[in-house]
């Protein structure tokens, strides 16, 4: 079975631009979470979506938004990019709402560089 | 609020030596704790997790961790390091609502031949 897939793998943007990152969960998984991992740090939680609804949001500005589609894939959008948005963006999927009893499966990430 | 502290951003061991990666947590409720590994240019892979029950948790690749409530610790160990263990390791706790995983800053493990 395919794991969590993310596209693109790498991306270069300039300040002020907008970017859309995509994630396809493992088949049968209904929950998708997004994390930002800045170089040298641990991942920081951005969003969790379950059944197309936002279930949780981290401490990120409104420039960050996401959505989940009927097929449970998800997009993360970042507007008005800043240099500090340069990071590895990780997507994780789980069967339902990501409770402690469930395992999150992470994709390989999208590496975003903002110049 | 939950938080995780990993002691030591870098740990270096010789091949065959004991691996010990330290993690302390802060949580106002019984914690659910995790260790993840990240190889270069890859996503995170779950090594093991503690939810309830036995405090000594065995994971993949010969790793194990012990939950010690009195010390608020969840240290990761492996009796004998392999070169393939060289990677970044993250300790994590899940928040009370169960939807947000809070990660430590990570510990990079180097294995010397």
- % of chain B exceeding 70 in pLDDT: 97
| Buried residues in B45-76 as b, exposed as e (16+ CB within 10 A) | ebbbbbbeeeeebebeeebbbebeeeeebbbb
Show residues of chain B in contact with A106, CB under 8 Å: 36, 43-45
**Touching check for A90 and chain B: CB below 8 Å?**
yes
**Residue-wise pLDDT tens digits, A47-94:** 999 989 998 899 999 999 999 999 999 999 999 999 999 999 999 999
**Residue-wise pLDDT tens digits, B55-92:** 899 999 999 999 999 999 999 999 999 999 999 999 99
Classified as helix, coil or strand, B47 is: strand
**Touching check for B67 and chain A: CB below 8 Å?**
no
Show residues of chain B in contact with A42, CB under 8 Å: 4, 90, 92, 103-106
**Touching check for B48 and chain A: CB below 8 Å?**
no
Average pLDDT of span B93-109: 86
């Amino acid at each position: 079975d395919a794991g969590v897939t993310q596209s693109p793998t790498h991306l270069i943007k300039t300040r002020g631009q907008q970017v859309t990152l995509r994630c396809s969960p493992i088949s049968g998984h209904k929950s998708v979470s997004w994390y930002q991992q800045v170089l040298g740090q641990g991942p920081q939680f951005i969003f969790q979506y379950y059944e197309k609804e936002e279930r949780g949001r981290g401490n990120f500005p409104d420039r960050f938004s996401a959505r989940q589609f009927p097929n449970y894939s998800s997009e993360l959008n970042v507007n008005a990019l800043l240099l500090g948005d340069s990071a590895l963006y990780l997507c994780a999927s789980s069967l339902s709402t990501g409770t402690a009893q469930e395992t999150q499966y992470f994709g390989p990430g999208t590496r975003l560089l903002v110049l | 609020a939950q938080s995780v502290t990993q002691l030591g951003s870098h740990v270096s061991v010789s091949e065959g030596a004991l691996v010990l990666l330290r993690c302390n947590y802060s949580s106002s409720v019984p914690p659910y704790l995790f260790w993840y590994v990240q190889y270069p240019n890859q996503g995170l892979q779950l090594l093991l997790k503690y939810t309830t029950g036995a405090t000594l948790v065995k994971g993949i690749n010969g790793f194990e961790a012990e939950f010690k409530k009195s010390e608020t610790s969840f240290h990761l160990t492996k009796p004998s390091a392999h070169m393939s263990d060289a990677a970044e390791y993250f300790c994590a706790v899940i928040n009370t609502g169960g939807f947000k995983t809070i990660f430590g800053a990570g510990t990079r493990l180097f294995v010397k031949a």
